[in-house]
């Protein structure tokens, strides 16, 4: 595979690379995109091979682009709550929460994983938007007692059905007790680092929140060595697997004009009383969306890559929604897609047409995502 020189050696420091980038790149990382101003590989081998291997074995993912906004200080919890309608008051020190974050209009600014690291310290593990500016602005305006920084932390994904076997070899059998969306600390380079049972796939696995950059190569090599008989390989977040499973992507499926209700994230919104979320009053008026995310199956052979939204139309040719992500879901031998569909046409079983670059295709609304 020929890597363009400008990717192998970016000609600027503007696009950042994580400490795991050299190893991931040497393993074949390519089709990079910039996410939180950091490179992330879309593929390592071929998309279909990466997909099947993720379901069969274990992969190491350089997801250093999942940046950690650290909120530290007496008002850290308050600042988190100002940004999200999810109730974070009951969070324990070993928990992770998936939180929609919203602006004053109740519209989504990000969809991070929130970690409570200590009673006065949270990490907001962000998707691709400059969410740190929200926290800095609100903290300054309200004169909060909190330090808002981007932590020097680069998550390493350890994903796939054999991830548990791998991590228990390095950190002991106790890690097998870790529950989904809980975290604990493990020794790495003589330091204690956070590892969570989480990740951007539904194949099981962990995310190690690697601190600093020293020893990243050595850790990668050690995991590769320990996992050799598990068929460990480098990987990266897999589009087909996340689309068929309904894991949403901010700036693809969730856009800044959407509310959490439109994104289907109403279950993460506490609407009984005002806990302090800046968008709460606006959200109260937006609880009944007129469009919402839906799984959609698109008929026929594989489709070309989706580079702009594809229109979804009804029998009369009226536009009733958009497709924001589409893939070949090889396990199910279908084209799986994520759409934002008007309430008039969002019921499961509704037949629609998707205007793809390969021409119009018949499509149907599903009642659930394939991988669920
Ligand atoms: N891990 C970490 N940070 C991240 C991501 C991640 N930041 C960016 C991006 N991914 C944020 N988006 C998501 C989307 C879905 C999930 C996590 C992050 C996810 N959802 C589970 C699900 O839908 O089954 C669990 C949701 C729940 O029930 O709480 O895991 O991947 N560190």
Per-residue pLDDT tens over the stretch 292-313: 999 999 999 999 999 999 999 9
| Residue bearing tokens 């740190």 | 132
- The two beta strands, 233-235 and 30-35, are unpaired
**In a mutational test of the pocket of ligand 1, which residue from 129, 235, 247, 325 has the highest number of ligand atoms less than 8 Å from its CB?**
247
Confidence (pTM): 0.97
Q: Where residue 8 falls among pLDDT bands split at 50, 70, 90? A: low
Q: Is the CB of 64 under 6 A from ligand 1?
A: no
Backbone angles phi, psi at 261, to 5 degrees: -70, -40
* Strand, coil or helix: 83: helix
Write down the pLDDT at residue 2. 59
**CATH code of the domain made up of 2-65+152-243:** 3.30.1360.120
Q: Which numbered atom of ligand 1 lies nearest the CA of 202? A: 24
Distance of CA 350 to the CA centre of its chain: 29
Q: Is the CB of 195 under 6 A from ligand 1?
A: no
Cα of 246 vs centre of ligand 1, distance in Å, is: 11
Write down the pLDDT at residue 4. 63
Q: Is the CB of 98 under 6 A from ligand 1?
A: yes
**CATH code of the domain made up of 290-372:** 2.40.30.110
Q: Is the CB of 18 under 6 A from ligand 1?
A: no
The one-character DSSP state at 279 is T
> Mean pLDDT over residues 17-39, rounded?
97
Domains of the chain, residue spans: 2-65+152-243, 290-372
Hey, do 2-65+152-243 and 290-372 end up sharing a CATH topology, with the first three levels equal?
Answer: no
Q: Is the pLDDT of residue 6 over 80?
A: no
What angle (nearest 5°) sits at the alpha carbon of residue 243, between those of residues 291 and 162? 145
User: Per the structure block, which two tokens stand in for 179?
Assistant: 């529950």
């Amino acid at each position: 595979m020929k890597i363009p020189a400008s990717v192998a050696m970016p000609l600027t420091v503007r696009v950042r690379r994580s400490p795991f980038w050299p190893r991931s790149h040497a393993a074949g990382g390519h089709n990079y995109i910039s996410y939180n101003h950091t490179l992330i590989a879309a593929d390592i081998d071929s998309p279909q091979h990466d997909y099947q291997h993720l379901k069969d074995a274990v992969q190491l993912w350089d997801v250093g682009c999942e940046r950690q906004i650290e909120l530290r200080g007496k008002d850290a919890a308050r600042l988190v709550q100002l940004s999200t309608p999810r109730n974070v008051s009951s969070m324990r020190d070993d928990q992770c929460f998936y939180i929609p974050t919203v602006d004053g209009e109740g519209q989504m600014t990000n969809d991070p994983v929130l970690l409570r690291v200590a009673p006065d310290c949270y990490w907001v593990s962000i998707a691709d938007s400059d969410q740190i500016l929200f926290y800095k602005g609100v903290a300054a305006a309200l004169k909060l007692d909190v330090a808002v920084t981007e932590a020097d932390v680069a998550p390493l994904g350890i994903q796939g059905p054999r991830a548990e076997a791998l991590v228990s070899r390095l950190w002991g059998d106790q890690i097998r007790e870790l529950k989904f969306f809980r975290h604990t600390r493990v020794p790495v380079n003589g330091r204690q680092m956070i590892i969570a049972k989480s990740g951007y796939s539904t194949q099981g696995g962990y995310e190690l929140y690697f601190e600093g950059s020293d020893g990243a190569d050595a850790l990668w090599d050690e995991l590769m060595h320990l996992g050799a008989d598990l068929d460990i390989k480098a990987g990266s977040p897999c589009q087909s697997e996340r689309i068929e499973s309904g894991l949403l992507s901010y700036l693809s499926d969730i856009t800044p004009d959407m509310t959490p209700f439109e994104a289907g994230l109403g279950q993460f919104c506490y609407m009984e009383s005002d806990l302090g979320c800046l968008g709460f009053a606006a959200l109260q008026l937006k609880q009944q969306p007129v469009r919402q995310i839906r799984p959609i199956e698109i008929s026929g052979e594989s489709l070309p890559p989706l580079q702009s939204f594809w229109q979804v139309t009804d029998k009369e040719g009226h536009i009733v929604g958009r497709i924001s992500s589409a893939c070949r879901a090889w396990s199910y031998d279908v084209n799986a897609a994520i759409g934002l569909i008007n309430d008039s046409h969002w019921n499961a079983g509704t037949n629609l047409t998707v205007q793809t670059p390969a021409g119009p295709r018949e499509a149907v609304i599903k009642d659930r995502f394939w991988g669920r």
